[in-house]
Structures are given as C-alpha cells and as structure tokens.
Amino acid sequence: MKTTTLAEAFAFFGTFPDNPRWSWSAVSPDLKSVAVTIWETEVGADGSIDVFGNPGLADWTSKPGNRERIRNLKLARENCGGLFHVIWVTARDLNENPWTIAGRYPEEHFMMKLVELDEVTGEFSAVLVDPASEDHERRAMADRPNKPPAHRSPTPSGRRRTTPQKAQRATPTCLTCFMELPATGVCDTCG
C-alpha cells in the first residue's frame, strides 16, 4: 500500500471535497458515500476515536475543513447509516506541534460508524467496523489487513554530489489549506 495525495485518496471512494487543499472530508455526488480524514494515531487500539474535549478544539472549530466535515458526517448519519470511509493520515513526527503529514492512504477493508456528533463544534466519536459483516461488527486497529506504509526520513549518505544540482528550498505551507505561506507566515486564505 502506498501513500496518496488527498485528491487521490478521496477519489478512491468516489468522493469529492469542496476544496482539495483544505478539506478534511468529502462526499459522493449521489450523497451515498462519505470519506473522512483521520489522524491514525488518534484512533485507539480498540478502533475507536473520540475527539470530544480535544485540547486543540479552539484551534480547529472555525476552520472550513471542520464545517465541511460536520455537514458530511450529518450526511453519513442520514444517508449511510452512520458509516463513512476513512482516509488515514500519518504524522511525520508526533512530537511536532502541529503535526505535519507524512502520508495519507485509504482504508480499503473497514469503515467507521459514527457514534455521536456535536453539530456546533464538530466534535465526534466513531468506531471501526467491518461493513461486510452482518451487523457491522466492530474491529480493532490490529484487525486491518493493510498496515500503514512506513515513513522513513531520508538518511544522508555522506557522499558528495558528483553532478551540480540546484538546492531546492522547502516552501512553507499552511497546515490547514496547504497553500504557500507569504513572508508573514500567516495564511491569506485561512487567517
């Protein structure tokens, strides 16, 4: 399994986000399929996620990605029996704040089932389930046949370049909408 772009991950489930740069979720044109990005490390070993009381709540409640996710989770509850597809997001370094994305990959075998949703704040809880089983049997993270791709930081080889290459400078981007940041370091799109 390889990591994908956000657009490719949403397309894997036939869903389309409002904005491929800042969306945290997407819905299919027929409103019968919803996909939500979830930080893999926020899901417990038992396959449950609960973001109620999240310490970062004030930082993400007003974000456009959260408002879209609230709409899409409501659609999942109303049109899909609470089921939604998962796009796992892996963090480059869990000690960073905020986390930066190492990769994204679609969950091919299981789905999440919405347990509770606060339609004002976007806080929610959900559990990992097997959509192919009769009563959407709960699953644990260890039950997944495909594990996340391992992220390895490049290790310097110690060798010098033999051909002249222009050094590429990393461009700082907004962690919410992934737009290039101006010199001020404050995103013009998200604020």
In this prediction, residue 173 has a pLDDT band, given cuts at 50, 70 and 90, of low
Q: Which of 27, 51, 31, 32 is nearest to 126 (CA)?
A: 51
Q: Both tokens of residue 42?
A: 């926020």
Name residue 35's beta-bridge partners.
26, 85
Task: Report the C-alpha gap between 36 and 29 in whole angstroms.
Answer: 15
Residue 154 has pLDDT above 80, yes or no: no
Residue 121: which pLDDT band, with cuts at 50, 70 and 90? very high
pLDDT band at 2 (very low <50, low <70, confident <90, very high): low
Q: What is the pLDDT of residue 164?
A: 43
Q: For the whole model, what pTM was predicted?
A: 0.74
Residue with tokens 């002249």: 164
> Poorest-confidence range of 26-40, 76-90, 99-113?
99-113
Question: pLDDT digit string (tens) for 22-49?
Answer: 899 999 999 999 999 999 989 999 999 9
Residue 175 has pLDDT above 70, yes or no: no
Q: How much is the pLDDT for 1?
A: 53
